[in-house]
Each structure stands twice: as C-alpha cells, then as structure tokens.
Structure 1
Amino acid sequence: MFVQFVWILILVLLKLRIMKLNRLLILLGLLNLLIVSCEDPNNWGYDPNYDNMYRPIHFDIVEERPTSVIVSFTGVIDATKYVFEFSEGDSLLFNNIVRTETALVDTLTAYKEESTVTATEYRLLFEDLHGTSRYSIRVKGVDDLTGKESGWTALCFDTPAEQIFTKVVPGITSATLQWDIEKEATNIKYGQLIQNDEPELDTDTLWIEDHQLTDTELQNGQLVISDLQIGTNYIAQILNDGILRGTYTFRTLGSSTSTLINVTPQDDINIVLANVAGTVEAPVDVTLAFEGGLVYKADEIIIPEGIKNIYLSGNIVNGINPVLEMSKFTFSAPMGNFYVQYMDVLSNGGSQFLIEIGNGNCFTNISFTGCTVREVPRSIIRMNSNDAMAESINIDNCILKNIGLSGYGLLNIGKAGTLNSISITDCTLWEIGDQIIDLRVALSEFEFSNCTFYNNETGIPKMFRLDKQPKMITITNCIFSGPNGGSKVNSGNSDYSGWLSYAGCYVTSDMVIDSREFNDAISLEYTSDDLFIDPTNGDFRFKPELKFDGEGVAGDPRWWAN
C-alpha cells in the first residue's frame, strides 16, 4: 500500500514538472526502502531448544472423592498424548512423585468439543488415591512424532476423608465393627471420647488400643471390641499402613449412670423393676440388658414410680436381636427417657397399642433404635391426652412390620399438651395400615427420611394425616413401593401441596397414586419387584443390573450395597 502511494506521488510531481533528476533518484531510493520494509517482520531466526508446543490453557478439578479425582483439561495442538504426574504431600513442589499416567489422544473422547483443539475439553478419572491427603497434579502435551513437548500446567487438591466402615453395631459393653473386605486395611485403633470441661473446646480422645488385624478378621471384615463402658461415646479408626481409611463414632447402649441388670428369660421383668425402684436411691436410672438369640416373654410391662430413665438394651449375638414378646408398656408416673435399643419387640396382640400415653405422663424422649417391631394391631405410640407431654419421639434404624392393620396408623397423636418433634429415619416400613402418622396437634418439627416403604397385601389409603402443618417438615430420600393391596394411595389426607414436598423420594410404578400426588417425587418406570431382589420376603436390596439412581442415597441404608 505504501509502494502504490509513492508511485502516485511521483506521477503527480512529473505532471507538475517540478521534479528534477536528483529528486527522482531520492524518491526511488525511498521506494526501495519501503519495499524492503514490507517483508514479514516476524521472519526471525529461532533457537530449536525452545521450539515447543503451548501448554494446556485450562486445567481444573471437577470432583474430589476420597480415593479418586476427576480432572478437566483442554487440548494441545499436535499432541499425540498427555502425561499426568501426581506428587503426594506437597503443594505444587512435586518433590514426591508417586505416579505417572499417560492418556493417548486417539483414545480420548471429548467431553465438550469445540472448533479448535485448544478449546476442546476432556475429562479423566484417576482412582486409587489416598483419602484425607494433599496431591499436586500436573499435565503436559507430547508429540511422539517430533518429540516436542508443552510446558506443565499444575494445580493441587485435597481428597476428603475415606469411609470403608460399613456398619458399627454397639452393644452394652462391646461393639462390632464391620468394613468393606475389598479395601486394604492393617489395623484399627479405638478410644473413648471425653467431653472437655470447657464447652468451647473440642472433645478429647483417650485412645485405648491400636489393634493389628488378623487374617481371619480381614477375611470376615469384622472386629468385635470388648471391655467398653456402658452408655459411653467412642471413636474407631481403620487404617492401612498409616493411611486413614475410615472413622466411625458410636455410643454403647444403656446409660453410664444407670443400674445395670442382666435379664434372663426366666425373670419376671415387673418384679425386677419393682425391686430396683424400691431402693432408697430412687428415682434411679435402669438399664435392662437382654441377650441376643434368646426369647423373653412378658405381658404388660409396668414401669413403676421411682424410675427416672429406663433403657431396654439388646446385646446382638451372631447378628440376632433378643426377642421380647409382650402386649404393652405402661407408665405409673411421669419419667424422663424411655429407650428401646436393638430389641425384636413382638406384640402378642393383647393390646391395641404398644405405648399409650395418657393422663399427665411426661417424657423427655421416647426412642426406638436398631429394633424390629412387629404385629402391633394399631399404633406403636398413641398420645391422646391434653395433659400428656414429651419433648421428642424418635424411631431410627428399625424394621416396622404389620403395624396398624386394625387402623390408627404407625403413630397416632390425637391430643397432647406438649410435643416438639417426631422423627422416623433409616427405617423399613413393611405392611403398614391406615397411615404412617395421624397427627392432629401442633408440632415444631417432623422428619421422615431415608425410609423404605413397601405394602404388598395391605392397602394404605394415605401416607400422612397432618391436620396441623408442622413448623418444619422434611420428607426426603424415601422409597414408596408395592401394589398396596390393589388400592390407590394418596400422599396425604387432604391437599398439602402448598407446603409438603417429596423431593428426593421415589415411587415405584406398581404403587398407584390417587388424586393427591406425591409432589416433587420421582415416578419410576419399574415395579417394586423390578427394583428389589425379593420384597415379598423382606429383601429390599436393589437389583444390581438395574443401576438404580437412588443407590446409596434413597431408602433405608441397611439395603445399600457395601
């Protein structure tokens, strides 16, 4: 463009006849300079030692898991492979390279393909990392044809804590620890949690033993620890050559301040309770200890005046709870806590309700934990007095079968002076009649979460009757399933759609919904027989070939794959 301009200028000057020869020569020289200056200004020489490819523009962590990580990176022009290096225990220093991985370009599938290589995104999963560890990771592109390499792009991340413990079953003075046998482990250390005198300080740990696992324990994935204290908080850690692979806190059964009584099947439980309540130390705390695999029979169990808190606690033997055949619990006077722990409570049909709270009976907590409760004609708990009071009712980690078949539902709260909260969590509800809860009083909080509900022969007309909206209500991560005796089912007794959500819950296709739907629930295209291994006979594990999205999230956790 500059050359054209100069020639035009020359022609103009000639035309005006004001140019002499020497001026013409000067202009021609300028023209030559301009021609030279229009050559490529970037045509420089270069040092072949620095003839490399550009490094990846983007490199990031998509998800950190206890033993794996998903990374995202963009491509490098002319790269035939990508090399990844991991350094453990430092922050971008790469002083401890523990692994090198190579990904060939022709084996990669773009996660997000763009018009240019440098904008195309790839994602890779790297497994077999250590939990609770810091890693530095870097990536470079390599061209195998020319030997050229890009520079490194690096970042660091922390893996969260791993958990290979699958279950901890507490006893009164013992605990059974179970873990995934596919995971390598060498030792388990456990200790007592000591509450610091200063509330703002963390809990201290008094370590008791660091146990080296035997071959038998590793094969079974189970360790029984003994000589623990009753009603005490403990922590257990499982490790593999110093690498922490799981942590579990638990509490032994019963109360540390109670009188411990080992009950035999020949004992009259009412006489045992009357004797301890008659001591001069009354009111007292009592722990009744029952042995797994044994059957205890009683009719009406009367909790006498003079007992402040009572724990009915079962020591599990070979995975079997103690069985208590009875009709009902009766309370002679107001008391504090009433706990039933790891017992198989079987109603003999002598009473419609397992617990009926009337008059001025007062409780702090009423709780069933780790139990199986069966064959109660109406409700496990009925509260029907304006003078009755309780802080909370909690049912956790229980199997509840054939309850409410004569009506009233699993829980029936008709009247109450005070009742703050009710929770039903991590439970399996199997053949439940009328409703899960009949609630006709004001309640601060109601939670129904991680439960598996299955009705095959029984027809439940509605899940919940909530005459008064709780101040806080949570119904989530549950599975509602079964043909329901051929009957349609409503989510509630009336329209609660303005405030009741079933988000995170699943409903199988064989459970036919009536006019009041399960708002925000996920409707499955398959039946309960398609979802569970053998629901009719109480096996609610998910069929592995189905690849159910709720695995590890929804339903009673006892049925999740380890």
Structure 2
Amino acid sequence: MKKKFSIKNIISSLLMLGLTLGFSSCEDVNDWGVDDSFNRIFSPVTFETAQVGATSVSLRFSSVPNAQSYVIEFSKDSLQFTTITNTVEILADDIVLDPNSTSKLYLATVKKLDPESRYSARMKVTSNNGLPESRWVTLTFKTSGEQIFDAVSNITESSATLTWEAEAEVTHIILSSGGTKKQIDLSPSNITESKLELSDLKENTSYTVEIYNGDRKKGTKSFTTAQKISGDGKRYTMTGTENIVDFLNAITESEVVLVIPSSAKFEIGDAWTLPAHIKSLTLWGLSGEGQAAISLKEIKLDNAVSSFKIWIHNMTVTGTDASADYVMNDNPTTARTISEFKMDNCTISAFRGVFRMRAALTVGLIDIDNCIISNIGSYGIISIDAAAVSVKDISLKNSTVYKLNNTNVITCKSKPVSISINYCTFYDAQAKDKYIINFDGKAANVAGTFSINNSLFGASDASVSTRATNPKIESTFVYDSYKTNDYAVASNYPLTGVLDYENTSTNLFTDPANGNFKIKDTNIGGEKQPGDPRWW
C-alpha cells in the first residue's frame, strides 16, 4: 500500500531541518580575523585651505567626535613629510568656528611661513577615549610673495616714489625693465624713512621693483612711468568730455599745454578763434588706444596777437571741407611773428591746406614730423602765399604724403632760409603739372639750402606727368631717394639726383591705393631704408 504525503507534511519537515542547522551554527558567529589598526578615531572629512598669504595660511577642517586635539604638520618636500618644518597642536576645546561656514567647519591659522614657498600640510586627530590617533589627511599649497610695499606714488615720466612698512628690515631694491636689472642699495636714511626716490627713469616705460632683506624678498610692485609731456606753459589735463573752445577761453595763462586723453573727440565744426591773450598753445594727445581727434575749419588768431607758437602732438586733425578748410590760415592785418608751427605724430586730412601764410607774417620754424597727410586740396601742405611773408626753416620728415588734390606739396612766394625733406613717402602727391615745390617760378625764391633725402616717390598713373620744382633745378638736390617707374617726372622739371626703382608702386608698397605703404621689396635702398620709417 502506498503512503500519501501532503504538502503540509513536507513544509513542516523543511522548517525542522532549518531550525536544527541554525542552532548548531550559533556557537561561533565570527570565525575570521580582525585588523585592530582600523579601530581608531576618525580623520576629519574636510581639510582644505581657506586663505593663503605670504607668510601665513588658514586651514579649514571638520571636527571629529571624541577628539582630544588636532595636530598639523608642515613640510616643504611635496607630501613626503620627511622633514617637518612646523608642528601645531590645537586642543579640541580651542578650535575656532569659521564664521563664513554654513556647515560648521573650523579654522586654524598658522603664521611664520616663508613667502613664495610650496608647502605640504597634514592633519591627524588624537582621541579622548583611548582610541589610537586618526590617519593623516593631507594637502599642498604655495604661499604668495611677501608684500611690504605701499603703492608706488608721484609717478612722472622720469621718477617715482617707493614707500614700505615702517621699521621693516630691508637691505636693497632690484629695479627691472625690459630684461635689464639694477640693484639699488638702501642707505640708512632710506631704511629709517622707509622711502626711496627713483630717478632717471624712461618715460612711458613699465618697471618692476622688488625689495629684499638679504636674500629674502619682502615685496614686489609694478608701475609704468608717465608719458613725457612737453610744451611751454601751464598744463591742463582734460577728460575729453569738455567743450575745448570754452575750456581754453576760461584759462587766463598766456602759455598753455592741453593734455588730451586718447579717447577725446572734439568736433568744433567751425573756425576756432583763440583767445587774444594766448601766446603759446600745445595740444598734447596722450598715447593709448586710438588717437585723440579734433575736427575744425581752421585755427584763427586774434588780430591783436603779435607773437604766437603752436604745437599739435599725437592727434587726428581733420577739416570739415577739403576745398575750404585749413589747420591754420594766417592773414594778419598787422605784423605778427609765429616762432613755431609744429605738428608731430599726427594724422592730417580733409583740408584745403595745412598751413597757409599771408600778409606781414614772420615764421621761424615749420616742423612736420612723423605724420600721415592725405586728401589735401589746392593749397598743399605749406603755402607761403605772399611775398611779404618771411619764413626761416621748413622741415618735413618721417612722414607720408598721399592723395593731394590739384596742388603743389609746398609753395613759396618768398624765399625761405632752408627746406629739408627727409625720410618721407610720397604717393599721388601732386596733380598733373603740379610741383613738389613751386618757388613761384622765381630763382630768387629758391631756399638758401634745399635738399630731399632718403625719400620715396610713387604714383598710381604713369600717364600723369608731375614736376619737381619751379623753376627747375638742375644741380643735385635729391639724395639716396627713389622713384617708381610709374612716377613720371617732366624732363624739363627734373627731380635731379633721384634714383630709379625699376618697378611699379604696387611692387614696392603693399596696398598704396588704400594708404598701406608697407615695403614689400626690402632690397630698395639697402641699409638706409628710404621713405617713411613706419612702413619698414
């Protein structure tokens, strides 16, 4: 007879077997080994730098339950800790809460570190309940340079004043610029006063100064000297937002230098008649991004002015109408002397003429240097436009003259003492049958000394015949200068002495039609590098 087993009987049997096995195994719960080295107080979860100074560091860390103290060690051997330089122990009751922390972190500040040094730091925790100390947590940081310098003050184009913390132990200063270094030993009075006056510096130049105590650097500062500002009279520094006409009218001095930021854009839009008491005016554009600019119909002098001088430096000067305007068009009703008319580092355009002179006028020096001049109308760059005008010296140098309209470059209806043209680039500088210099066709008007040196002449149209001088000068007056083969000179008005460059203007210049005269053929002229130096 077969036995029948129910599901209930099977489940009961399995349960009895499980209980039997379970009771038999309870006699030895952990029969594997335990590493007692893990039985220690916890390490801080957070350990980081909060602030690193020249001779100190603030470390931020989290607290640990049952801590007795926090031990910090420092080393300079990049986390090796073979040589400990500093050890700090802080009792758990003395740790300071970080006021800026939102998660209850603490700060420890350690001082008397070396500046500009790489440190390793590590922290461990000792316990108050007999547990072994925690494992180390580590980090690394670099201290900044020590700084005992105050701000560099009284900076001029050639000097500056250095001051530093009182009673600091210092021995010397290193002055650096452009890869050169100079050591300046500090005198007892320098050290007592914590002060040194630097002199004989270069204008508009960047310098770095470092102050030392023996071999230990104690501070570093950098500064740039001011741009050199020249000109006679009292200086007024403008912001560029003023009305320049009203600004000058309010000045009572007779000799004035207006120092103008590179961002300034003055649009006078009419003739600028200067106050009658102004005898000397310098418009000094500062260097910077762009160039200070002024737009006007002309600068005029009051008839009461008997003597005057003007200097325009580093500005963009434009007219409002190239068929009518002038930088200056002086035609006094009584005798007047202009001792100097100077423009340097200027961009000049859209005038009928740059400087036109008439009537009983005596001019000492006309000096145009390092300028780019274009789009000038029928009176050219310089026009001695009356036999009564007396001019001593005319100098045009380091400049580019292009796209003059139906005009001579220079016109002389009286005899100047000298005319000197040096290192200039001319392109389309004369219209057909116009002259580089027109002495009004009179030999008596030819300057006492006259020469063109190290200059370049080019043109866009070889069919346009130009003339050198009137009357023609057959003796050599051109030296170390070249004309391109598309610059045509009438044979009966020779540019005597000029050398031929057997190629076109576009072979010599990068993009002359658009005012880019960078030299492509650098073989021209050899070491003398003729033409406006800016293009080499």
Into which bin does the TM-score normalised by the smaller protein fall?
0.5 to 0.7
Quote the residue 1:3 is aligned against.
Answer: none
Where does 1:543-554 land on structure 2 (aligned, <5 Å)? 543=520, 547-550=523-526, 552-554=528-530
Matching of residue 380 in structure 1 with residue 354 in structure 2: yes
Quote the residue 1:274 is aligned against.
Answer: 249
What's the offset of the Cα at 1:520?
Answer: 1.2
**1: CA distance between counterparts of 2:433 and 2:208?**
49
Residue pair 2:208, 2:223 contacting (<8 A) in 1 also: no
The correspondence for 2:179, drawn from 177, 186, 201, is 186
Quote the residue 2:279 is aligned against.
Answer: 308
Quote the residue 1:532 is aligned against.
Answer: 509
Quote the residue 2:379 is aligned against.
Answer: 408
What's the offset of the Cα at 1:370?
Answer: 0.6
Instruction: Sort the Cα spacing of 1:554 and 1:438 in 2 relative to 1 into closer, same or farther, 3 A.
Output: same
Residue pair 1:460, 1:484 contacting (<8 A) in 2 also: no
The AA in structure 2 aligned to 1:418 is: S
**2: CA distance between counterparts of 1:224 and 1:508?**
47
The correspondence for 1:286, drawn from 238, 256, 259, is 256
Residue pair 1:446, 1:473 contacting (<8 A) in 2 also: yes
Quote the residue 1:390 is aligned against.
Answer: 363
**1: CA distance between counterparts of 2:201 and 2:473?**
52
**1: CA distance between counterparts of 2:339 and 2:430?**
37
Q: Deviations over 1:161-180 (max 9, x none)?
A: xxxxxxxxxxx9659xxxxx
**2: CA distance between counterparts of 1:255 and 1:368?**
12
Q: Deviations over 1:463-521 (max 9, x none)?
A: 110231111112111101012584111111232114x5212110000112222221111
Residue pair 1:488, 1:514 contacting (<8 A) in 2 also: yes
Residue pair 1:455, 1:483 contacting (<8 A) in 2 also: yes
**1: CA distance between counterparts of 2:238 and 2:255?**
14
1:380 partner SS: strand
What's the offset of the Cα at 1:188?
Answer: 7.3
**1: CA distance between counterparts of 2:501 and 2:226?**
48
Q: Deviations over 1:90-110 (max 9, x none)?
A: xxxxxxxxxxxxxxxxxxxxx
The AA in structure 2 aligned to 1:268 is: N
Q: Deviations over 1:78-101 (max 9, x none)?
A: xxxxxxxxxxxxxxxxxxxxxxxx
Residue pair 1:542, 1:551 contacting (<8 A) in 2 also: no
Where does 1:126-275 land on structure 2 (aligned, <5 Å)? 186-187=179-180, 206-208=199-201, 225-227=224-226, 252-255=228-231, 257-265=233-241, 267-275=242-250
Provide TM-score, normalisation by structure 2. Answer: 0.55
Instruction: Sort the Cα spacing of 1:543 and 1:417 in 2 relative to 1 into closer, same or farther, 3 A.
Output: closer
2:246 partner SS: helix
**1: CA distance between counterparts of 2:431 and 2:181?**
46
Two-structure CA RMSD over aligned residues (Å): 2.9
Where does 1:357-368 land on structure 2 (aligned, <5 Å)? 357-359=330-332, 360-368=335-343
What's the offset of the Cα at 1:253?
Answer: 2.6
**2: CA distance between counterparts of 1:213 and 1:206?**
14
1:349 partner SS: coil
1:293 partner SS: coil
Matching of residue 541 in structure 1 with residue 518 in structure 2: yes
**1: CA distance between counterparts of 2:533 and 2:328?**
27
Residue pair 2:480, 2:530 contacting (<8 A) in 1 also: yes
Matching of residue 347 in structure 1 with residue 319 in structure 2: yes
Residue pair 2:233, 2:257 contacting (<8 A) in 1 also: no
**1: CA distance between counterparts of 2:248 and 2:428?**
38
2:534 partner SS: helix
**2: CA distance between counterparts of 1:507 and 1:224?**
46
What's the offset of the Cα at 1:338?
Answer: 0.5
Quote the residue 1:448 is aligned against.
Answer: 421
Instruction: Sort the Cα spacing of 1:456 and 1:504 in 2 relative to 1 into closer, same or farther, 3 A.
Output: closer
The AA in structure 1 aligned to 2:349 is: R
Larger Rg: 2
Instruction: Sort the Cα spacing of 1:485 and 1:512 in 2 relative to 1 into closer, same or farther, 3 A.
Output: closer
2:249 partner SS: helix
The AA in structure 1 aligned to 2:459 is: G
Residue pair 1:394, 1:424 contacting (<8 A) in 2 also: yes
What's the offset of the Cα at 1:362?
Answer: 1.8
Q: How many residues align?
A: 322
What's the offset of the Cα at 1:211?
Answer: 6.6
What's the offset of the Cα at 1:548?
Answer: 2.1
Quote the residue 1:232 is aligned against.
Answer: none
Residue pair 2:342, 2:366 contacting (<8 A) in 1 also: yes
**2: CA distance between counterparts of 1:224 and 1:497?**
56
1:272 partner SS: helix
**1: CA distance between counterparts of 2:207 and 2:310?**
38
Matching of residue 430 in structure 1 with residue 429 in structure 2: no
Residue pair 2:423, 2:533 contacting (<8 A) in 1 also: yes
What's the offset of the Cα at 1:530?
Answer: 0.2
**1: CA distance between counterparts of 2:435 and 2:461?**
11
Instruction: Sort the Cα spacing of 1:408 and 1:323 in 2 relative to 1 into closer, same or farther, 3 A.
Output: same
2:478 partner SS: coil
User: What is the aligned-residue identity percentage?
Assistant: 21
Provide TM-score, normalisation by structure 1. Answer: 0.53
Residue pair 2:207, 2:223 contacting (<8 A) in 1 also: no
Q: Deviations over 1:96-136 (max 9, x none)?
A: xxxxxxxxxxxxxxxxxxxxxxxxxxxxxxxxxxxxxxxxx
Q: Deviations over 1:358-390 (max 9, x none)?
A: 1233211010011010011x21011111x1111
Instruction: Sort the Cα spacing of 1:553 and 1:308 in 2 relative to 1 into closer, same or farther, 3 A.
Output: same
The AA in structure 2 aligned to 1:307 is: I
Residue pair 2:431, 2:466 contacting (<8 A) in 1 also: no
1:375 partner SS: strand
2:489 partner SS: coil
What's the offset of the Cα at 1:256?
Answer: 6.0
**2: CA distance between counterparts of 1:295 and 1:496?**
44
Q: Deviations over 1:311-347 (max 9, x none)?
A: 01111213x2111111110011233320000000011
**2: CA distance between counterparts of 1:410 and 1:317?**
27
Quote the residue 1:328 is aligned against.
Answer: 298
Q: List runs of 5+ in structure 2 lacking aligned partners.
A: 1-154, 159-176, 183-197, 210-221
**1: CA distance between counterparts of 2:263 and 2:243?**
19
**1: CA distance between counterparts of 2:512 and 2:428?**
9
Quote the residue 1:510 is aligned against.
Answer: 486
Instruction: Sort the Cα spacing of 1:457 and 1:442 in 2 relative to 1 into closer, same or farther, 3 A.
Output: closer
Instruction: Sort the Cα spacing of 1:355 and 1:409 in 2 relative to 1 into closer, same or farther, 3 A.
Output: same
Instruction: Sort the Cα spacing of 1:456 and 1:393 in 2 relative to 1 into closer, same or farther, 3 A.
Output: closer
2:385 partner SS: strand
Quote the residue 1:43 is aligned against.
Answer: none
Where does 1:7-156 land on structure 2 (aligned, <5 Å)? none
Residue pair 2:358, 2:385 contacting (<8 A) in 1 also: yes
The AA in structure 1 aligned to 2:200 is: W
Instruction: Sort the Cα spacing of 1:324 and 1:496 in 2 relative to 1 into closer, same or farther, 3 A.
Output: same
What's the offset of the Cα at 1:264?
Answer: 2.2
2:507 partner SS: helix
Instruction: Sort the Cα spacing of 1:551 and 1:436 in 2 relative to 1 into closer, same or farther, 3 A.
Output: farther
**1: CA distance between counterparts of 2:390 and 2:239?**
34
Q: Deviations over 1:274-301 (max 9, x none)?
A: 211xx3xx4x211112221332110222
**1: CA distance between counterparts of 2:281 and 2:247?**
13
